[in-house]
Amino acid sequence: MTTRSLSLILLCCLLSVFDATAQTRRRKTTEQRRPSSSQPRPSAEAARTRIGAQAKTIARFLYLYGRVSSEIEMAEEQARREGSASGSQTIESSKKVLFDSLRNVREGLERLETDLRVSAAPLFPRVAGVADQAAVAEEQAVAGQFDRAGRTLLEILERLIQAMESP
């Protein structure tokens, strides 16, 4: 594993976690339509869209997270076996990028929770606490428990998907 390939992977990891839930401008129609009782409220539909975008962001992050965390663990093991400190600086910078990416994921989930608390009260209970779970994953990764952190992120992803599917 070269420093260049590890840096490239970490850069991709960092870029993939940016919040992909950009706001779009909606045009108002002159005629106000009332949604029928069988159709979900527009705010609930918009909330589902936001949840879906966040789930997609986490899924992309997890795809890269597994590879990067494995490479960090292998590099640490190799440095221990060889007793060299030359790669430790690269390992630490890779960890920092990974931790920053996890922080970005948590912050995106915090924004999602805040927005849903205000605009889509029926969906809020389904996603309440996912930011706290992301904080736990962040702590697990900092403690070197990369596998447990990945599993915690998978639980968050599952909760988001369930929230989108429920009526």
Helical pair 130-142 and 88-119, crossing angle rounded to 10 deg: 170
Domains, the chain, ordered by start: 42-165 (1.20.120)
Angle at 47 between CA 53 and CA 50, to 5 degrees: 15
1-10 b/e (C-beta count within 10 Å ≥ 16 → b) = eeeeebeebb
If you average pLDDT over each of 7-21, 77-91, 115-129, which comes out highest?
A: 115-129
pLDDT at res. 155 = 96
SS (H, E, C) 85-97: CCCHHHHHHHHHH
Task: Tell me which DSSP letter residue 24 carries.
Answer: -
pLDDT at res. 73 = 87
> Over 60: is that where the pLDDT of 4 sits?
no
**Average pLDDT along the chain:** 78
CB 117 within 8 A of CB 66: no
pLDDT at res. 19 = 43
Share of the chain above pLDDT 70, in %: 70
- Select the more confidently predicted residue: 137 or 91: 137
> Which pTM does this prediction carry?
0.70
CB 133 within 8 A of CB 108: no
pLDDT digits (tens, 9 = 90+) for 63-99: 989 888 888 888 888 888 887 666 677 888 888 889 9
CA distances from 153 to 13, 55, 105, 125, 149 (A): 15, 10, 10, 18, 6
- Model confidence at 33, pLDDT cuts 50, 70, 90, reads low
- Model confidence at 6, pLDDT cuts 50, 70, 90, reads very low
pLDDT at res. 76 = 85
